[in-house]
Amino acid sequence: MNEPASARVVAVQDDLITIESVADGEHYRPLMKNEVIYILPTRLDGDRQEWLKAEVLRVKGRRADAQVYESTGGVGVGDPVVQSADMLSAELGPGLLGMVYDGLQNPLELLAVQHGTFLPRGVDLPALDQEKLWPFKPYVKEGDTVRTGDVLGSVAEGRFRHSIMAPFDLVGEWTVDWIMEGSFSVADSVAQLSNGTQQRQIHMSQRWPIRQPISRALLAQGQAQRQYPSVPLSTTMRLIDTFFPIAKGGTGCIPGPFGAGKTVLQGLIARYSDVDIVIVVACGERAGEVVETIQEFPNMPDPKTGGTLMDRTIILCNTSSMPVAAREASIYMGITLAEYYQSMGYDVLLIADSTSRWAQAMRETSGRLEEIPGEEAFPAYLDSSIKNVYERAGVIQRYDEQSTTGTFTMIGTVSPAGGNFEEPVTQSTLGTVKTFLGLSAERAYKRFYPAVDPLLSWSRYLQQLKPWFDENLDPRWTERVARLQSLLEKGEEINRMMQVTGEEGVTREDFIISQKAQLLDMVYLQQDAFDDVDVSVPMERQQALLSLMEAVIEHQPPARSEDDKAEVRDFYTRLTGLLKNLNYSMWNSSDYDALLQDIHATLNG
């Protein structure tokens, strides 16, 4: 850090410090909100220097409050502060896929190689490999006119075409002075642009402030438009795709108590969803679960490509044991990476785990800033902060020759204490997202997985995507799903009644309804994540099973006596076993056909 100090520390409180501008002659260098600054602790043993990275949160004249992204041990009043004049930014370019970063985009594997298991303070490494050469193929030529976000060329990043785009901060039209073809590192200049008064050297990487949406820059320059999400995100999970769909470019949340299966569910969604790029942001999850994710993803086969899932995944780790400030920043870092690939025209899925601890990080910082607290001591702006995060998801169509369209879908997991969905983070999230997959501790205890409670969950996309369902599935699709949801609700009402009165207290007709609802739950809503066949069910097979379920539900077992509830239960138990075995059989195999015949024989017998 060769720049002179322009401020000094005047107060320290945990990871929050207060700084004050120092006069350079008669002038003070202005402090900016969200500016990155560096603090040099002077109370350290030996000659080592540790420049600690921090971000300005609030400016009050010549003073500002800043959150430090590392331990503030050794920082004291009077320590020098260097202002970078840059916002906290992400480094965008080829080489992101397959990487594991911390919340500030430091590559964890390289940090471990250079510094060991326990990471020292003050280390700031480039996010992208500065030495690796990428074969660059230009798409424009000297004299062409370009605007922000226009594709200048591309490199191959695995199986993906990684677009090298004109910087997102360009304003107006620029002319290509020269452009090169060949193999270059991300730090090399590959082109030069000018607009009559300025010249810009173009590299294969660029930086962008993580708290500013990339899409906003494209929209402001008339380079793109937002589209209405109109296509469902196929997860190959029956419960989600049929009952509680999520749109590509939409939002969803998975709240639930500890042990209800959030980690497994989000892993299945990441692996089998119909998207190109997956970004996992562990913004406060426990370290053990994050280690499991890092170990599993590189070895998990990718059903889309035949390679490993890590080939098209980026993981950002800021566990609950890591600095609070970096935990809060990590979710914005992940969103910026998602927007970057979205602007190239890819379908991107971001899973944030868990937004509860991200909100708790905001609560800690807000408390140290002595801001007026809201409910349960969360900041009063919690609701708007959550909305700002989820609203960055969407569908963006670029105004280029191909009308390139990219989607960014965001799913956040919430960990309310005790499974209380009335707490502020869950309620603010519910008011923002359009799909709510509420996990139930009771269903998890019964081993009903995925433990999504169909009576608590909902999706506003079921009606929003009705034109797509009508055209691609069945004009009566939403009505069919609504009838099945109604059956589940009626079955639950009858079950509650039987808990009080016993089976003798309900009629035969009501008992049959409860048995049908239980069969629907066990056969269609539950899915075995450890079975090679049932773990992923394409939409065609879901449709066939749904039609079969409707036939089973419409069938009325013949009455053999006035009180034959035991026989009715045995009938539906037998059917449930056959249908579950059908789920475990390969689609259209001889075993599948034989089971299908047994099911029809049981219904007709």
Residues making up the annotated binding site for ATP are 256-263
- Binding-site residues sit at 256-263
Name 316's bridge partners.
101, 281
For residue 530, the one-letter residue type is: F
For residue 97, the one-letter residue type is: L
Please tell me the distance from the alpha carbon of residue 481 to that of residue 487, in angstroms, as a whole number.
10
> Tokens for 71?
């331990």
Please tell me the distance from the alpha carbon of residue 68 to that of residue 91, in angstroms, as a whole number.
20
Name 55's bridge partners.
36, 67
DSSP one-letter string for 219-273: HHTTSEEEE---SB---S-HIIIIIS--BTT-EEEEE--TTSSHHHHHHHHHHHS
Secondary structure, 3-state, 357-393:
HHHHHHHHHHHHCCCCECHHHCECCHHHHHHHHHCCC
Please count the CA atoms within 13 angstroms of the CA of 111 that sit on its side-chain side: 20
Residue whose tokens read 């997202």: 433
Please tell me the distance from the alpha carbon of residue 148 to that of residue 388, in angstroms, as a whole number.
23
3-class SS shares of the chain: helix, strand, coil, % to 5: 35, 25, 40
> Tokens for 556?
């009325």
